Chains A and B, each alone.
Chain A
Amino acid sequence: MRAHVPPSRFFIIATVAVSCWALLLRCFLLPSQPITTDDFSVGLTAINYMESGNLGPVMWNHPDLCNILVYGTLKCFGSGVWGLKIWSVLFGTLSVTFVALLGRRLLVNEAAALLAATLWSLDSLSIDLSRQAVHEVYQSFFPLAAIWLALNFRHTSRFRWLVAGGLLFGAGLACKWSALFPCVATVGLLLLDIRRSDDGVGGRLTRCAAITASLLIIPAVVYLLTFAPWFGRGYSLSEWFDLQKSMYRETKLHTGYTPVVNRDHSAHAWFIYPVAWQDLNLNVAETGTDASAMTVEKNVTVLLAVSNPLVWLLVLPGLIAVIRVGFRDRNREMLFLAVLFASAYLPLVLTFSRPIFMNTALTVMPYGVMMVGYLVVTLTSATSQRKTALFAYLFTVLLLSVPLYLLAIGKGNESPLLQRYLVGRFVNNSQKVLP
């Protein structure tokens, strides 16, 4: 384990700046962004869950922390944009902050961590889903924050970090089960540390018990407690286990609510060629609009997240670099990053029972951008024009991010060039959604 070095002043300032930049990108024109059916359904689902204990109508098979949080903000801020989306914006932004913080911990390289955070702040998928009410982006934030807290325990041995990490892993699990994979990987890392420690058998056992209790039992209890409104319908614990089975079956076999054809739905493709996540929605400007008067241009909004090839296609080379250096230098943090990536990604690649849509990459890509950050910083530092090369890369990514940003926030139709791309790729689907 490496000695803990406090972050430089530059790193702190830059992390705050990147986080503010991420917040700006996630809030820009948000109140005027067309409201999707999913946005509306998230509000209904939150009320349905908190006031009646019912699951659904949207994503009944996922746990319900999102409903609890959204219901709270609906009560505080009303059913406006912030009542509905503040958590997505907040967690989407904080995921950028924690990419920097965790990246610094794992890569021991502030430049790489900052580059990773910048890449994540610009990522089309993260931006798109941070601007929607659905809870997808929560899955980027909770595991990152929980791992960072658990690693603080690793360096300080103060149990409060461990308990806080356990609570956040629990919150992550209570959004989606995918938080389980990084949680188990983190427990594994901390238990491996015990093997190497100089403590006696008693000391090792107590440390082992503390880790297991904090990172497995506490998350399980948090997860259970979020079902309180559902228990209020009269259900018992044995029926809760039956519900978990139902949720698992649906999650395992879920095919989405729109046809799978023409949609990117294979996790193995994510880092091989550019992929996209699309939300097509019908909106009318006033009530009572005649269905026959609707057109694709006027009434269909496409929120389209396209992977930036300059980032996503470097993930696998980044993984190789991290593993190589990890083994060469016996760098456990680097190897842990590779394990985090693999534990989040491989279960998706190896899922054959259902399509895996690109939105799920939100659980994988935070580790991906850390590896890309490391790769780019390492490669550019080998050149004589280190800073120039790094900024050239960043500038090119930024340039490509402009059209991707417009597509992600639903402004693709307003640029003739992007509209041609949208119509060319999605017009058939769009016409199908018209009544």
Chain B
Amino acid sequence: MRKSYALPVFFALLLLCGAVPAMDRYGKQCRRYAGPVTGINDPRLPRLLVDTPLDVYHAWKKLGVHGRTILLVTDRWKKLSTSELFPEIPMYRRYPLSLYRIPSVMEENYLTSDNYLYVAALNGITRRVVALLPAQGYAEMTHAAHSAKNSRIEPDSVYLTHQGFPRWFTTGGYLRHEHEPVLLYVEAAYFLEEEPEHLYRMLLDAGIRTDSLILCRGKGDIRITPREIGRLERFATLAGFAAGARSSLDRSPEVSRSPGGNQ
């Protein structure tokens, strides 16, 4: 090969072979874990029982997790309207513009029990959500997927994106494909239609691995009755929560960059 032509080929191949694995590695290295990754029945797993989704958001912040998959166990997916996605652009606009960081402004001024997952995505806590829903909640998402621009309906799951942000919905079948350690979060609302023993068995069977388990009582949600709270507590007992314990998250979190954690 002539030297003058060999150089661009060599340069391009070097770039390709360097850049592709480097970007993949860089992305994966940016994920931060709360600690050791274990099964949900492992006593070392940090556990927390909270009242509202806002408490969950703050717990994730405190844990220092980043770039993670959240496994959300709930009854329905809350859809946000376009106007809720970022602060309205002001009609008074003069140079120099008062620009701002959308994630920080949303967290400080607009964080609610409805948009906490969206704000968690904006702030880098999560890069992907897997929602485990009862049959009816799942049927609603399947219906929504039919009219969505970018969706995929598979036998055991529905895939929908929001501005490129990936979201999976399932009644449980998809969980066996989930090999990545997740931030496991269970809302009491899930037990409006399901039993805790069934959920616990499903998570164990799927081999779900996690570094944080948070349960939420859903305070303020008028649909939640003592029956659902009772079921949530049954699930807490199954998952190894000590009676009356707030959590092992009350101690300062130790952040790890690898799923092996800081064992």
Decide if B19 touches A224 in the complex (CB within 8 Å).
Answer: yes
Decide if A40 touches B12 in the complex (CB within 8 Å).
Answer: no
Decide if B164 touches A247 in the complex (CB within 8 Å).
Answer: yes
Q: Which residues of A contact B68 (CB under 8 A)?
A: 234
Decide if A80 touches B95 in the complex (CB within 8 Å).
Answer: yes
**A52 interface residue per 8 A CB criterion:** yes
Could you mark each residue 12-43 of chain B with 1 if its beta carbon is under 8 Å from any beta carbon of chain A, else 0?
Answer: 11011001100110111011000000000000
B165 nearest CB across to chain A (Å): 8
Q: Which residues of B contact A187 (CB under 8 A)?
A: none
Within 8 A of B (CB), among A49-106: 51-57, 60-61, 74, 78-81, 83-84
Q: Within the assembled complex, what's the spacing in Å between the Cα atoms of A31 and B96? A: 10
Q: Which of B98-106, B134-142, B170-178, B225-233 contacts A (4 or more CB under 8 A)?
A: B98-106
Q: Which residues of A contact B98 (CB under 8 A)?
A: 79
Q: Which residues of A contact B253 (CB under 8 A)?
A: none
Decide if B15 touches A218 in the complex (CB within 8 Å).
Answer: yes
Decide if A162 touches B8 in the complex (CB within 8 Å).
Answer: yes
Q: Which of A260-268, A280-288, A306-314, A381-389 contacts B (4 or more CB under 8 A)?
A: A280-288
Q: Which residues of A contact B86 (CB under 8 A)?
A: 44, 57
Q: Which residues of A contact B16 (CB under 8 A)?
A: 217, 220-221
A379 nearest CB across to chain B (Å): 42
In-complex Cβ contact of B5 among A159, A220, A246, A250 (8 A): A159
**B78 interface residue per 8 A CB criterion:** no
A240 nearest CB across to chain B (Å): 7
Q: Which residues of B contact A285 (CB under 8 A)?
A: 92
**A368 interface residue per 8 A CB criterion:** no
Q: Which residues of B contact A60 (CB under 8 A)?
A: 163-164
A331 nearest CB across to chain B (Å): 27
Q: Which residues of A contact B113 (CB under 8 A)?
A: none
Q: Within the assembled complex, what's the spacing in Å between the Cα atoms of A399 and B98? A: 39
Decide if B26 touches A228 in the complex (CB within 8 Å).
Answer: yes
Decide if B6 touches A234 in the complex (CB within 8 Å).
Answer: no
Decide if A213 touches B12 in the complex (CB within 8 Å).
Answer: yes
**B94 interface residue per 8 A CB criterion:** yes
Q: Which residues of A contact B94 (CB under 8 A)?
A: 35
Most chain B beta carbons < 10 A, residue from A34, A210, A237, A284: A210
- Given A48-B102, A60-B164, A249-B149; A234-B67 close (CB under 8 Å): yes
Decide if B12 touches A217 in the complex (CB within 8 Å).
Answer: yes
Q: Which residues of B contact A246 (CB under 8 A)?
A: 150, 161, 164
Decide if B8 touches A237 in the complex (CB within 8 Å).
Answer: no
Q: Which residues of A contact B161 (CB under 8 A)?
A: 242, 246
**A396 interface residue per 8 A CB criterion:** no
Within 8 A of B (CB), among A273-294: 282-287, 289
**A109 interface residue per 8 A CB criterion:** no
Q: Which of B50-58, B123-131, B213-221 contacts A (4 or more CB under 8 A)?
A: B123-131
- Chain A at the B interface: SS class: helix
**A28 interface residue per 8 A CB criterion:** no
Q: Which residues of A contact B27 (CB under 8 A)?
A: 231-237, 239-240
**A-B pair number, CB within 8 angstroms:** 183
B16 nearest CB across to chain A (Å): 5
Decide if B9 touches A210 in the complex (CB within 8 Å).
Answer: yes
Decide if B163 touches A55 in the complex (CB within 8 Å).
Answer: yes
Decide if B96 touches A79 in the complex (CB within 8 Å).
Answer: yes
Q: Which residues of A contact B150 (CB under 8 A)?
A: 245-246, 249-250
Q: Which residues of A contact B93 (CB under 8 A)?
A: 34-35, 39-40, 283
Q: Which residues of B contact A34 (CB under 8 A)?
A: 93
Decide if A227 touches B23 in the complex (CB within 8 Å).
Answer: yes
Q: Which of A114-122, A201-209, A343-351, A423-431 contacts B (4 or more CB under 8 A)?
A: A201-209
- Given A48-B102, A55-B164, A253-B149; A213-B8 close (CB under 8 Å): yes
Decide if A52 touches B124 in the complex (CB within 8 Å).
Answer: yes
- Given A47-B101, A221-B15; A210-B28 close (CB under 8 Å): no
Decide if A79 touches B23 in the complex (CB within 8 Å).
Answer: no
In-complex Cβ contact of B95 among A35, A48, A282, A284 (8 A): A35
In-complex Cβ contact of B99 among A61, A79, A217, A231 (8 A): A79
Decide if A232 touches B26 in the complex (CB within 8 Å).
Answer: yes
B177 nearest CB across to chain A (Å): 13
Within 8 A of A (CB), among B46-104: 66-68, 85-86, 89-103
**A41 interface residue per 8 A CB criterion:** yes
Decide if B24 touches A56 in the complex (CB within 8 Å).
Answer: no
Decide if B128 touches A239 in the complex (CB within 8 Å).
Answer: yes
Could you mark each residue 143-187 of chain A with 1 if its beta carbon is under 8 Å from any beta carbon of chain B, else 0?
Answer: 000000000000001110011001000000000000000000000
Q: Which residues of B contact A234 (CB under 8 A)?
A: 27-28, 30-31, 66-68, 124, 127
For the A-B complex with A79-B95, A166-B12, A239-B166 known, give 7 more contacts whose Cβ atoms are closer than 8 Å.
A35-B94, A52-B103, A61-B164, A210-B8, A218-B8, A220-B16, A250-B150
11 contacts between A and B (CB under 8 A): A40-B99, A48-B102, A56-B163, A80-B95, A203-B2, A224-B19, A224-B23, A225-B23, A228-B23, A232-B67, A239-B127
Residues of A within 8 A of B (CB): 31, 34-35, 37, 39-41, 43-44, 47-48, 51-57, 60-61, 74, 78-81, 83-84, 157-159, 162-163, 166, 202-203, 206-207, 209-210, 213-214, 217-218, 220-221, 224-225, 227-228, 231-237, 239-240, 242-243, 245-247, 249-250, 253, 282-287, 289, 299
